[in-house]
Every structure is written in structure tokens, then in C-alpha cells.
């Protein structure tokens, strides 16, 4: 590790964690698009509301996965601290 | 060091898994952790409910009482959900899906009662992901035979087989990580709120509990079971 001490590594880990949760942008946009289309579908066919809602929730939960991977990386960097010697 | 640099307030945030006691097994030190304790509590609650439900159904009356109504409501809701997705395969998988549905739901809600949710431990969710994986491939070999499985692997062209295999392996990992990360994020956020804002966290964290424990927990339970059912139905369905 040379001249870098543990505080420097922890600070860099915090910056990395902050960068990792930027992954939340993608699922946010995707879930918004899904919810918007579901709202349009319910407006066109109000009878199918429960089907549309369950399909929307399923699709949103799958789309959320990539954001959760970013969150997991941030959690690992902050709390498990794999970079410390 | 450690937590101190993370939280300048120095409050004790506590959402990690703790060991309760350890014992030696074949030369390995094995820890009984808080996850085991919480799983046991959830299991005891489910077992007590099942014994009471068994007694209520054995002495069923024509005009159902309150408890019998609740049991019938739960069973009918699960049957409807499973039948809607799996169709003719639903009788065989009703037990498994119903079991994991009730277990995951109670595990997620247990955060409301001060336990650390067992599903916020990757060991628990990965075990369920592995069970789904085994069920998918067992049923694929059973219904589609070896020929169908090989045809499925070489789906567009035979050169795609490695990618299909990676896709198959990714199923249990993404399934379990999704549940784990959702529950863990709720647990961590509530622990941060209670540790950092301990002076002013009086009543309003209840709203966060409703969102993270009840709403998010129920949605993730539903999603886990729906995806499991979809994968198993896909594996059971033959081409003709």
C-alpha cells in the first residue's frame, strides 16, 4: 500500500460508494416509463386495472435489479471495506 | 476508525449480523447468528399458525368463524395467484410456492417487530434461489426430456449455448440478490435513521416502517414468487 494510510483508502471507498449509487438513475427512468405506460393502459382499458398493475410491478421489480447491484457495491465499499489491507 | 469515519456523530449504527454463540463441528467453528434466531422465531410463528389452522379446519363448521375465515382467505388467495400463472401445473407446485410466499412475507414483516429480517442475510435468500434453480432444471429434464433441453440450449444457433448457460446460472443469483438487496436497503436505512436522528426519531419513522417493511416487503415477496412460478412454468411447457 506504500505511503497511503487507511484513512485515505476509506475516503476513496466513500467516493466510490457515492459513484456506485449513480446506478440508481437508470432504474428510476425505467420505472417511470413503465408506470407511465401502465397509467395510459389503465386509461384506455379501465377493466384490466389489476392485470396491468401486477404486470407493471413485476416489470419494475426486474428493472430495479441493476440499481440494486449498484447499491450492493456501495454497501460493500462502505461496510465490508474490502480495500483495507 | 471504521464506523467512526463514516458517521461523525459516532452513533452506534447496528444492522450487521451478530454471532450469538459458537460451537465446534468437525474442527470448524460454526456460529449461531441473529439470522438463525430470527428464522427460528418466524418458523415458530408459522408453526403455531399452522397448528391452529389445522385444528380450525378439522372442526370446520358450516358457518365459518373468524379464524376459519382467515385461513380460507389465505388459501384461496394463494390458490388464485398460483392458478393464474401456472395453469394446469398449479396443483404440483402449490405447496412449494405457498410455503415460500408465507415464509418470505413473514420474514420481511418481522422487521416491524424489532427483529433483523432473516431475508436481509444472503445465506437465506440464496438458499431459496438454489431451490428454485433445482426445481427449474429438474422439471425441464422431466417434461422436455434431454432432447428438449439441448434444443433449448442451442436456441437460435448452437454457438449461443455458452450464453444460454450463463443466462441459466444468472437466474438464481439475480432472483436472490433482488430480494436480499431490497430488504437490506430497508434495514440499513431504518438503522441509519434511528442511529443518526435518534434525538428526533419519535413517531415519524413509523411511515418509513410502513413503506420499507410492509409495502416493499409485500411487493418483493410477490415478485419472488411470480418470477419463480414463471420460470418453472417455462421449464414445464413443451413446444407442442
pLDDT band with cut points at 50, 70 and 90 for residue B3 = very low
Closest alpha carbon within chain B to A5: B1
Q: What is the structure's pLDDT at B8?
A: 43
DSSP string, B142-209: HHHHHHHHHHHHTSS-GGGHHHHHHHHHHHHHHHHHHHHHHHHHHHHHHHHHHHHTTTT-SSTHHHHH
Residue B86 is part of which domain span? 3-236
Write the residue in B182, B184, B226 that is nearest to A58 by C-beta: B226
Once rounded to an integer, what is the mean pLDDT over residues B90-118?
89
Q: Confidence class of residue B150 from pLDDT cuts 50, 70 and 90?
A: confident
Whole-number Å distance between alpha carbons of A22 and A25: 6
Mean pLDDT for B163-192 is 90
Residues of chain B in contact with residue A23, where contact means CB-CB under 8 angstroms, are none
Residue A73: band (very low, low, confident or very high) from pLDDT cuts 50, 70, 90: very high
Contact A71 B178 (CB under 8 A): no
Q: Point out the residue among A57, A71, A79 whose CB comes nearest to the CB of B223.
A: A57
**Under CATH, domain A6-78 is a member of which superfamily?**
F1F0 ATP synthase subunit C (1.20.20.10)
The residue-averaged pLDDT of A16-29 equals 92
Taking residues B170-193, report their average pLDDT.
Answer: 90
User: Picking from A26-35, B22-31, B129-138, which range would have the lowest pLDDT averaged per residue?
Assistant: B22-31
pLDDT, mean of residues A20-28? 92
Predicted local distance difference test score (pLDDT) of residue B204: 86
Residue-level pLDDT at B46 = 93
* pLDDT reading at A4 higher than 50: yes
> How many domains does chain B fold into?
1
A residues 5-64 lying closer than 8 A (beta carbon) to B: 6-7, 10-11, 14, 54, 57-58, 61-62, 64
What is the band of B11 on the pLDDT scale with cuts at 50, 70, 90?
A: low
Backbone angles phi, psi at B239, to 5 degrees: -70, -40
Residue contact A68–B181, C-beta within 8 A: yes
Distance CA B164, CA B154 (A): 8
| Higher-scoring residue by pLDDT: B198, B142 | B142
Mean pLDDT (whole number) for A16-38: 93
DSSP sequence for A29-62 = HHHHHHHHHHHHHHHH-GGGHHHHHHHHHHHHHH
Find out whether B191 and A78 touch, Cβ atoms under 8 Å.
no
Judged by CB atoms closer than 8 Å, whether chains meet at B177 and A10 is answered as no
A21: confidence class by pLDDT, cuts 50, 70, 90: very high
Q: Would you call A75 and B184 a contact, using CB atoms and an 8 Å cutoff?
A: yes
Over 50: is that where the pLDDT of B239 sits?
Answer: yes
Structure ipTM: 0.81
**pLDDT tops 70 at residue B139:** yes
b/e map B68-87, b = 16+ CB within 10 Å: beebeeeeeebeebbeebbe
pLDDT, one tens digit per residue, over B37-83 is 999 999 999 999 999 988 888 887 777 788 888 888 999 999 998 98
Residues B117-128 pLDDT 10s: 889 888 899 999
Q: Could you state, in order of their start, the residue ranges of all structural domains in chain A?
A: 6-78
C-alpha distance from A75 to closest chain B C-alpha (Å): 9
Amino acid at each position: 500500500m506504500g505511503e497511503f494510510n487507511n484513512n485515505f483508502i476509506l475516503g476513496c471507498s466513500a467516493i466510490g460508494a457515492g459513484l456506485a449509487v449513480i446506478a440508481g438513475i437508470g432504474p428510476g427512468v425505467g420505472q417511470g416509463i413503465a408506470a407511465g405506460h401502465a397509467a395510459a393502459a389503465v386509461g384506455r382499458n379501465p377493466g384490466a386495472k389489476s392485470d396491468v398493475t401486477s404486470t407493471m410491478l413485476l416489470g419494475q421489480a426486474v428493472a430495479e435489479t441493476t440499481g440494486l447491484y449498484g447499491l450492493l457495491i456501495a454497501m460493500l465499499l462502505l461496510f465490508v471495506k474490502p480495500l483495507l489491507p | 476508525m471504521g464506523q467512526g469515519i463514516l458517521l461523525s456523530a459516532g452513533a452506534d449504527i447496528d444492522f450487521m449480523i451478530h454471532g450469538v454463540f459458537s460451537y465446534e463441528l468437525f474442527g470448524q467453528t460454526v456460529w449461531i447468528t441473529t439470522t438463525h434466531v430470527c428464522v427460528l422465531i418466524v418458523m415458530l410463528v408459522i408453526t403455531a399458525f399452522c397448528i391452529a389452522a389445522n385444528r380450525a379446519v378439522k372442526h370446520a363448521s358450516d358457518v365459518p368463524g373468524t379464524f376459519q375465515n382467515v385461513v380460507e382467505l389465505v388459501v384461496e388467495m394463494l390458490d388464485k395467484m398460483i392458478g393464474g400463472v401456472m395453469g394446469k401445473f398449479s396443483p404440483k407446485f402449490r405447496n412449494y410456492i405457498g410455503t415460500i410466499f408465507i415464509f418470505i412475507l413473514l420474514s420481511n414483516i418481522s422487521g416491524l417487530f424489532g427483529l433483523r429480517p432473516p431475508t436481509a442475510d444472503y445465506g437465506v435468500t440464496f438458499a431459496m434461489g438454489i431451490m428454485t434453480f433445482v426445481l427449474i432444471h429438474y422439471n425441464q429434464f422431466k417434461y422436455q426430456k434431454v432432447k428438449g433441453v439441448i434444443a433449448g440450449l442451442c436456441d437460435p444457433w448452437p454457438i449461443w449455448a455458452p450464453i444460454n448457460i450463463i443466462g441459466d446460472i444468472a437466474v438464481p443469483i439475480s432472483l436472490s440478490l433482488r430480494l436480499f438487496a431490497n430488504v437490506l436497503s430497508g434495514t440499513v436505512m431504518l438503522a441509519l435513521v434511528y442511529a443518526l436522528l435518534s434525538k428526533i426519531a419519535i413517531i415519524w419513522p413509523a411511515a418509513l416502517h410502513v413503506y420499507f417493511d410492509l409495502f416493499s416487503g409485500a411487493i418483493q415477496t410477490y415478485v419472488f414468487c411470480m418470477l419463480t412460478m414463471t420460470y418453472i412454468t417455462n421449464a414445464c411447457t413443451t413446444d407442442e
